[in-house]
Structure 1
Amino acid sequence: MNITRRSLMIASASLAPLGQALAQGTYPNKTIKIVAPFTAGAASDTLLRKITEAAGKLLGQPMIVDNKPGAQAAIAARIVAKAPNDGYTLIMGGNSSHAANVHTLKNPGYDPVKDFTPITQLSLNPLMLVVNAELPVRTLQEFVSYAKERPGKLNYATGNSGMLVAAKLLTTNAGIDAMGVNYPGAAPATTDLIAGRIDFIMNDPVVAAPFIKSGQLRALGVTSKQRIPLFPNVPTIAEQGLPSYEYASWSAMFAPAGLPADITRKLHQAFAQVMSDPEMVRFAAAAGIIPLATTPEQLQAFVQEQIKLWERWAKESGITPA
């Protein structure tokens, strides 16, 4: 059984009928705000808006998305860490906000374990190596050769810590010298890639998809060990001569620390029900996303594992806290 089916089954087995759970208290009785640490139009933003629409209907109250990009998701995380723990302010966090920043920022301004209540993991998000279609390369091997012939001449965009470490792992594993350029998110980075102002990017598949299909961009490899349904003909980086290469971003729902157990349970039930819905599974597949629905306890353990993993990744890719 694969990780997606196993996680969804575990979450589904823990669900009581949502209406029964809501009847046990008055929460929620007003709009719930989800702070998003990414720009509108990013793959995670697209996923979040789909999730909040469905979860809001289950909970009987609207959910709104408040985009607060920047500082590798630290801006959004700080806002939610300091918010009241009443269940009306949440964050769709992920590898940047709740793992990488421990090792990439000197002072994130929050503790990803102590300052948050885990609710559920939502997804795994593989990235893709994408170049401007005018770059004279069609495979990873051609790209590596092209870059090695131009040491220090190519640049790449980093819109978050996931994009950064995925690119750093590539340059380190392939032995190429390229310069990173920081962007507030994947969408503006993609705009500059199309315009030719940068040379390559480790991009969200759903953000890159329309431009790949239009012929403006070209996908050279997937960062996960498995190909994705959205681009089944794009091979993984690992199967193109870099067998140890593997990276995937992830997303999860968190609340401020100290969220009451009954509210945590209601939110978990709603999000788990949404993520296990067949329509959401199909939507995620079309967006290059692997849907998940884990328990709060599983998410807590996962975050701690990811913090340790990012320590190794930061060292391997030469990232020092900024």
Structure 2
Amino acid sequence: MNDRWGDNPSMHRRHFLACAAASLPFAARADSFPNGPFRILVPFGPGSATDQSARQVADGLNRLFGVPAVVENKPGANGAIAADIAAKSKPDGQTIFVCSNTAAASNVALMKSLPYDPLKDFEPLTIIGRAPVFLMVNPSLGVTTAGEFVELCRRQPGKINFGSGSASTRISGELLKAKAGIDMVHVPYKSTPLALQDTISGHVQMCFTDPVTGLPQVKARTVRCLGVGNRGRYKLTPDIPTLIEQGVPDFELMTWTGVLMPRGVPQPILARLHEAVVTTITEPAYVERQVAAGSEIAPTSPEEMRRLQVAEIELYREMMKIAGIEPE
């Protein structure tokens, strides 16, 4: 017999079962995972870009594994509240932390002490999407360019308030102050949608947002976008000028969303979840929606995500020095 296992029927049977298991749906590949619903923790409120990504992941996990996937919004402390809960969760693969670069990296530079360590307490899974920050103002200010906004701030030092709902948007405002030589007052919020809402209502005059949160309001004409924090014109919004080309030197800042898992999740489960999340976020309908909103889908390997985390921590430390911000 030319078969590589000869006449050993048990080897034939094991090979058949292995092949059959590989072709089964996600939910049928293992008896022990998942053994209950997924819990997806989000460090910002409903409506944020991170929240929208988390709900897409939840929908995908529900369909692929056949179990509920429940999103829990835990805003506050720049994402540290949700991150701490996630870090202390049982590492069985059923608690998933969908977060922005704030909780995954930036907080290390921004805060003196954290109840968690984004590198030591978590396993990276994948980046979901990324985009630059966008400068939004209340239309009643009467400015139409970043240059005009800077001049307004110079005429009224300390009179313009800017809102922020994350480390990225906070640093963006502080970096603008440092790069343009202006004085503004920072007003913190629990999430970017809340900061944007108060910009719309006039409680603050300016905020930075990600495109998923901000650009729909630009289209609705409730806020005005004055520029994008990218080195060159962002390919998804080529009509919006950069802050650099409007005279704000070297202003470049990206936001991203990713998935972290509590440290200790078994590698086979991490591999299955990585496959499931990447499958979900690369579905054409979701990609099209995100592109239309100005966000690029950018799945990575766990190793690539970890390298990005480490680089971002150093980047934010450098930006805080430039902006003259002490860790809080």
Aligned to 1:3: none
How does the TM-score come out when normalised to structure 1?
0.90
Aligned to 1:11: none
2:70 corresponds to 1:64: yes
- After superposition, residues 240-319 of structure 1 pair within 5 angstroms as 240-319=246-325
Q: CA separation in 2, counterparts of 1:20 and 1:104? A: 39
Q: Of 150, 163, 177, which residue of structure 2 is paired with 1:144?
A: 150
Matched residue SS, 1:69: coil
Aligned to 2:138: 132
- Greater Cα offset, 89-98 or 204-213: 204-213
Aligned to 2:10: none
Residue 133 of structure 1 aligns with an amino acid whose one-letter code is: P
- After superposition, residues 33-44 of structure 1 pair within 5 angstroms as 33-44=39-50
Structure showing greater radius of gyration is: 2
Segments of 5+ residues of structure 1 without an aligned counterpart are 1-15
Shift of 1:17: 6.7
Matched residue SS, 1:44: helix
Aligned to 1:169: 175
Q: Can you list the C-alpha shifts for 1:196-215, whole angstroms capped at 9, x where unaligned?
A: 11110002323223432232
Aligned residues between the structures: 307
2:122 corresponds to 1:116: yes
Indicate the RMSD between aligned Cα atoms, in angstroms. Answer: 1.9
Q: Would the aligned equivalents of 1:229 and 1:286 in 2 still touch at CA under 8 Å? A: no
Residue identity (%): 36
Q: CA separation in 2, counterparts of 1:232 and 1:240? A: 15
Aligned to 2:203: 197
Q: Can you list the C-alpha shifts for 1:59-107, whole angstroms capped at 9, x where unaligned?
A: 2222111000000000000001111000111111232112111121121
Shift of 1:150: 0.9
Shift of 1:268: 0.2
Residue 124 of structure 2 aligns with an amino acid whose one-letter code is: P
Q: CA separation in 2, counterparts of 1:242 and 1:134? A: 22
Q: CA separation in 2, counterparts of 1:312 and 1:128? A: 21
Q: Can you list the C-alpha shifts for 1:174-210, whole angstroms capped at 9, x where unaligned?
A: 1111110011111221221111111100023232234
Q: Would the aligned equivalents of 2:56 and 2:281 in 1 still touch at CA under 8 Å? A: no
Q: CA separation in 2, counterparts of 1:250 and 1:17? A: 33
Q: Would the aligned equivalents of 2:161 and 2:206 in 1 still touch at CA under 8 Å? A: yes
Q: CA separation in 2, counterparts of 1:17 and 1:237? A: 50
Q: Would the aligned equivalents of 1:35 and 1:67 in 2 still touch at CA under 8 Å? A: yes
With over 3 angstroms needed to count, the CA separation of the structure-2 counterparts of 1:224 and 1:18, relative to structure 1, is farther
Q: CA separation in 1, counterparts of 2:259 and 2:48? A: 17
Q: CA separation in 1, counterparts of 2:192 and 2:319? A: 21
Segments of 5+ residues of structure 2 without an aligned counterpart are 1-21
Q: CA separation in 1, counterparts of 2:23 and 2:230? A: 35
With over 3 angstroms needed to count, the CA separation of the structure-2 counterparts of 1:18 and 1:216, relative to structure 1, is farther
Matched residue SS, 1:238: coil
Q: Can you list the C-alpha shifts for 1:248-271, whole angstroms capped at 9, x where unaligned?
A: 111110111011001100100011
Aligned to 1:105: 111
Aligned to 1:10: none
Shift of 1:226: 4.6
Q: CA separation in 2, counterparts of 1:298 and 1:200? A: 34
